[in-house]
Amino acid sequence: MSILVYAEHDNSELKADTLKTVAAAQAIGGDIHMLVAGSNCQAVAEAASKVNGVSKVLVADNAAYEHQLAENVSLLVTELAADYDHVIATALTTGKNFMPRVAALLDVTQISDIIAVESSDTFVRPIYAGNAIATVQSLDSKKVITVRSTGFDAVATDGSAEIVALDKATDAGNSSHVNDELSVSERPDLGAASIVISGGRGMQNGENFKLLEGIADKLGAAIGASRAAVDAGFVPNDMQVGQTGKIVAPDLYIAVGISGAIQHLAGMKDSKVIVAINKDPEAPIFQVADYGLVADLFDALPELEGKL
Amino acid sequence: MKVLVPIKRVIDYNVKVRVKADNSNVDLANVKMAINPFCEIAVEEAVRLKEAGTVTEVIAVSIGNKSCQEQLRTALALGADRAIQIDTEENLDSINVAKLLQKVVEEEQPQLVILGKQAIDSDNNQTGQMLAALTGMPQGTFASAVKIDGDKVNVTREVDSGLQTIALTLPAIVTTDLRLNEPRYASLPNIMKAKRKPLDVKSAADFGIDLTARTNLIKVTPPAERKAGIVVESIDELVEKLKNEAKVIS
Quick one: three-class SS letters along B32-55? CEEECHHHHHHHHHHHHHHHCCCC
Question: Residue B219 and residue A300: Cβ atoms within 8 Å?
Answer: no
Chain centroid to CA B135: 19
B174-203: pLDDT as tens digits: 999 999 999 999 999 999 999 999 999 999
What average pLDDT does this structure show over A211-223?
A: 95
- Candidates B117, B118, B123, B243: best to mutate against A (most CBs of A within 10 A) is B123
pTM to 2 decimals?
A: 0.94
CB–CB of B129 and A178 under 8 A?
no
Residues of chain A with C-beta less than 8 angstroms from the C-beta of B145: none
Per-residue pLDDT reduced to its tens digit, A111-161: 999 999 999 999 999 999 999 999 999 999 999 999 999 999 999 999 999
Cα end-to-end span (Å), chain B: 61
Looking at residue B225, its pLDDT comes to 85
Is residue B144 scored above 90 in pLDDT? Answer: yes
| B66-108 confidence digits (pLDDT tens) | 999 999 999 999 999 999 999 999 999 999 999 999 999 999 9
Indicate whether B228 pLDDT > 80: no
Q: What is the predicted pLDDT for the residue at A186?
A: 84
- Residue B140 sits at φ, ψ, to 5 deg, of -125, 95
Min Cα–Cα distance to chain A from B236, Å:
7
**Per the CB < 8 Å rule, is B161 touching A182?**
yes
| Residue pLDDT, tens place only, A182-199 | 888 888 889 889 999 999
Within 8 A of A103 by CB-CB distance, chain B residues are: 95, 126, 130, 133
Report how many helices (DSSP H) and strands (DSSP E) chain A contains, helices first: 8, 16
Q: Is B206 left (phi over 0), alpha (psi -120 to 50) or beta?
A: alpha
The amino acid occupying position A220 is G
Comparing CB atoms, the residue among A101, A172, A287 nearest residue B129 is A101
Q: Note whether B160 contacts A191, CB cutoff 8 Å.
A: yes
**The pLDDT value given to residue A29:** 96
Nearest to B142 among A93, A98, A133 (CB): A93
Strands A116-119 and A175-182: unpaired
Does A291 contact B238 at a Cβ distance shorter than 8 Å?
yes
| Burial call A223-257: b when 16+ CB within 10 Å, e when fewer | bbbbbbbbebebbbbbbbbbbbbbbbbbebbbbbb
Collect all residues of chain A within an 8 Å Cβ-Cβ radius of residue B137: 174
* Percentage of chain A exceeding pLDDT 90: 94
- What's the mean pLDDT when you consider all of chain A? 96
In this complex, do A219 and B249 lie within 8 Å of one another by their Cβ atoms?
yes
Who contacts A161 (Cβ-Cβ below 8 Å, separation ≥6)? Answer: A34, A48, A49, A50, A51, A54, A55, A56, A57
Closest residue by Cα to residue A208 from A188, A193, A189, A223: A223
Q: Write the CA distances from A41 to A55, A166, A176, A274, B41, integer angstroms.
A: 19, 13, 19, 38, 37
DSSP letters, B220-238, are EEPPPPPPP-EEESSHHHH
Cis peptide before B171 (omega within 30 of 0): yes
- Mean pLDDT of the A164-176 span: 95
How confident is the model at residue B235, as a pLDDT? 95
The better pLDDT of the pair B247, B99 is held by B99
Band (pLDDT 50/70/90 cuts) for residue B25 is very high
Shortest Cα distance, chain B CAs vs residue A280, angstroms? 12
Cβ distance of B129 and A129 shorter than 8 Å:
no
Q: Rounded to an integer, what distance in angstroms lies between the CA atom of residue A235 and that of residue B43?
A: 27
